[in-house]
Amino acid sequence: MILIDGKKAAAELREELKKEVAELKNKYNKVPGLTVILIGELAPSKIYVKNKEKSANEVGLKSEVIRYPETVEEITVLEKIDELNNDDTVSGILVQLPLPKHIDKQKVIEAISPGKDVDGFHPMNVGNLSSGYESSVPCTPLGCYLLIKKIETNLSGKKAVVVGRSNLNGKPMTQLLLKENCTVTITHSKTADLKGECLKGDIIVAAVGIPELVKGDWVKKDAIVIDVGINKTEKGIVGDVAFDEVSKVAKALTPVPGGVGPMTIACLLKNTIECFKRSQKN
């Protein structure tokens, strides 16, 4: 069984991106910039943002974090986004989720210029992705996609099963696999026979949030299994896949932690660079 090493893959991707940033700096005499807006004091959000800033600096991006207290008014955030949309030194804007209840998430997402939407959540990018046009792609599914391609370059005709239909993970994952000519089944909490569906998959991507939901006898021999889940349990952090059981049948499997997680931030940097390149073209 191939243990898909997300840490290593992310480090390799960051190395490539670092080179690309240096080339862009030579060519345009400026570097891509990522601005993150962090609202409130949620510990996981603060950790994510710190890691994003560190990784951005590591590859040579210009990185900035704008912090607001939890009580900040929605209009203040929207005005700041408008300012950043019009700032040529900012290539990508990310508003760290979740937001306090009094701030409308959709309004915030739609306020970000689609060309600077490094999370790929703007309806324009969602639509472009589903139409097969150029777009920003949400970072976690993009990371999953790159890990799958490391194992299998030609996915055409493969049967892929995506477990979970969130806008963040399941739906964009489905679009990426469709683009690769997979036959994709998207499953969710109301799917009648989840085990039966999973058993058909040459590729399974699990993004659910239920510890060890996908069991060993749900997986076809030699399937590629990607575990997006991050679940805190008594025995520590586990994924949505029963790792020990599934590792006995799968051809390749991501561990949790150390699988998909590290790729997410690396893909955020990639998206920032892509946004910069598109803005230079236009």
- Considering only CA atoms, which of 41, 111, 108 is closest in space to residue 71? 41
Nearest approach in angstroms of CB 23 to ligand NAD is: 28
Per-residue H/E/C for 159-185: EEEEECCCCCCHHHHHHHHHHCCCEEE
- Tell me the C-alpha to C-alpha distance, in Å, between residue 263 and each of 4, 57, 99, 257: 11, 16, 23, 11
Question: Is 231 a binder of ligand NAD (CB under 6 A)?
Answer: yes
CA atoms within 13 A on the CB side of 75: 0
Question: Is 209 a binder of ligand NAD (CB under 6 A)?
Answer: yes
In the set 80, 96, 171, 175, the catalytic residue is 96
Q: How far apart are CA 62 and CA 148, in angstroms?
A: 30
206 by DSSP, 3-state: which? Answer: strand
In the set 80, 116, 117, 119, the catalytic residue is 119
Question: Is 39 a binder of ligand NAD (CB under 6 A)?
Answer: no
Question: Is 261 a binder of ligand NAD (CB under 6 A)?
Answer: yes
**Residue 96 designated active-site:** yes
Which of 19, 50, 107, 188 is the binder for ligand NAD (CB under 6 A)? 188
141 CB contacts (<8 Å, ≥6 apart)? 169, 172, 173, 176, 205
Tell me whether residue 92 or residue 261 sits nearer to ligand NAD (CB atom): 261
CA atoms within 13 A on the CB side of 23: 9
Q: Tell me if 52 sits within 8 A of 34, measured CB to CB.
A: yes
Q: Which residues between 147 and 186 bind ligand NAD (CB under 6 A)? A: 163-166, 168-170
Question: Is 42 a binder of ligand NAD (CB under 6 A)?
Answer: no
154 by DSSP, 3-state: which? Answer: coil
The alpha carbon dihedral of 162, 164, 165, 167 has a sign of negative
- Considering only CA atoms, which of 252, 257, 262 is closest in space to residue 12? 262
Nearest approach in angstroms of CB 208 to ligand NAD is: 4
**Residue 280 designated active-site:** no
Q: What helix, strand, coil percent values describe the chain, rounded to 5?
A: 45, 15, 35
Helices (H), 112-138: 123-131
Nearest approach in angstroms of CB 105 to ligand NAD is: 13
Give the interface size with ligand NAD as a residue count (CB under 6 A): 24
Tell me whether residue 20 or residue 212 sits nearer to ligand NAD (CB atom): 212
Binding mask 135-154 for ligand NAD (x = CB under 6 A): -----x--------------
Query: Of the listed pieces 71-79, 109-117, 153-161, 222-230, which binds ligand NAD according to CB under 6 A?
Result: 222-230
**Residue 217 designated active-site:** no
Query: Of the listed pieces 8-16, 38-46, 128-136, 229-237, which binds ligand NAD according to CB under 6 A?
Result: 229-237
Tell me whether residue 24 or residue 146 sits nearer to ligand NAD (CB atom): 146
Nearest approach in angstroms of CB 144 to ligand NAD is: 9
Enzyme catalytic residues: 52, 96, 119
Residues at the site binding ligand NAD, with contacts judged by CB under 6 A: 140, 163-166, 168-170, 187-189, 191, 194, 207-210, 228-231, 260-261, 264
